[in-house]
Amino acid sequence: MHSDDHKIIIRADKRPSGSHERQFNAPTFNEVAVVIVAENVASRDIVLKRRDGGQLQRVYETHRSYDALQYPLMFCRGEDGYHLNIKMFNPMTGEETNKNASSMNFYAYRLMIRQDVDNHLLRYRRLFQKYCVDMYVKVETEQLNFIRFNQSKLRSDEYIHLRYAIATEGDAANIGRLTILPATHIGSPRHMLNMPKMR
């Protein structure tokens, strides 16, 4: 912004004084992974503070500017990322429907390879790997939040065998908030039980 005073200095051969000596080393592995511990998936927001001393502003991961703020090299023009009010389009008619697109739909579309169209995201190598992992966590978080907040729609209260096991074998004082993962959630215990047996 024109009102902000800023200076960008890039010197690849120097590192800032007082920083760790290996902080700017090139990565030594070709793989990128993410580890999510317990329920710490809700704190992936970006916090901004203007230089004029303004208050802190939180940018949630479902805000349209999150991707551009998290990956300024990939989205240097400030392209919109995923947000909750993106509408789906009917592929036959091309008309907008009243159904919202999920984050999985959005990122599958964004990462798709198309004939005669150059997808610049695929050229970022390791940064692209980090972006894919980060967006996968966003997709997984959206799915888990839907399951968590829609337990009544998923009829999880009808799992009589589970309630019986908790009442008879488990210690009710140690049970936290009960969330049942449906068989449609890939990787859940019920999904693993429903998978066909390999011969």
pLDDT at 70 over 70: yes
pLDDT band at 166 (very low <50, low <70, confident <90, very high): low
Please tell me whether the overall predicted TM-score, pTM, comes out greater than 0.85 for this model.
no
Q: What is the pLDDT of residue 107?
A: 92
Between 156 and 102, residue with greater pLDDT: 102
Give me the phi and psi of 99, to 5 degrees please. Answer: -95, 135
Between 189 and 116, residue with greater pLDDT: 116
pLDDT at 89 over 60: yes
pLDDT band at 71 (very low <50, low <70, confident <90, very high): very high
| 39 vs 60: CA distance, rounded Å | 16
| 22 vs 65: CA distance, rounded Å | 31
| Secondary structure class of 96 (helix, strand, coil) | strand
| Secondary structure class of 160 (helix, strand, coil) | helix
**C-beta of residue 195 within 8 angstroms of C-beta of residue 183:** no
Q: What is the pLDDT of residue 44?
A: 75
pLDDT at 118 over 80: yes
147-157 mean pLDDT = 70
Helices (H), 36-125: 66-70, 103-111
78-107 mean pLDDT = 89
| 80 vs 188: CA distance, rounded Å | 32
106-132 mean pLDDT = 89
Q: What is the pLDDT of residue 48?
A: 86
